[in-house]
Structure 1
Amino acid sequence: MAKNFGFLVCLLIMALDVAAGILGIEAEAAQNKVKHLKMWVFECRDPSNQAFKLGLAAVILLSLAHIIATLLGGCTCMWSKEEFNKASANKQLAQIRIILAIGLSLLIIGTVANSKSRKACGISHNRVLSIGGILCFVHGLFTVSYYVSATATARDLSRHQDPFATQA
Structure 2
Amino acid sequence: MALDITAGILGIEAEVAQNKVKHLKMWIFECRDPSHQAFNLGLAAIILLSLAQIIANLLGGCICIRSRGEFEKASANRQLAVASLFFSWIIWAIGFSMLIIGTMANSKSRKSCGLSHHRILSIGGILCFIHGIFTVAYYVSATASARDNSRHQTPTDPQA
Q: When the two structures are superposed, what TM-score results if normalisation uses the length of structure 2?
A: 0.86
Shift of 1:142: 1.0
TM-score by length of 1: 0.82
Query: 2:42 corresponds to which letter in structure 1?
Result: G
Change (3 A) 1:51 1:84: farther
1:26 and 2:13 matched:
yes
Could you tell me which runs of 5 or more consecutive residues in structure 1 were left unpaired when the two chains were aligned. 1-13
What SS class does the counterpart of residue 24 from structure 1 fall into?
helix
Query: What's the CA shift string for 1:117-164, capped at 9, x where partnerless?
Result: 111111111000001101111110111011000011112112222438
3-state DSSP of counterpart to 1:143: helix
Matched, 1:107 2:99: yes
CA 83–20 in structure 1, closer or farther in 2 if over 3 Å, else same: farther
Q: Secondary structure at the match of 2:91?
A: helix
In percent, how many aligned pairs have the same letter? 72
Structure number, greater radius of gyration: 2
Deviations 1:26-52 (A, max 9, x none): 000000000011111111110000000
The amino acid across from 1:50 in the alignment is Q
The total of aligned residue pairs comes to: 150
- Per the alignment, residue 90 of structure 1 pairs with 81
CA contact (8 A) 2:11 2:42 kept: yes
CA RMSD of aligned residues (A): 2.1
Q: How far is the alpha carbon of 1:89 from its aligned partner?
A: 2.8
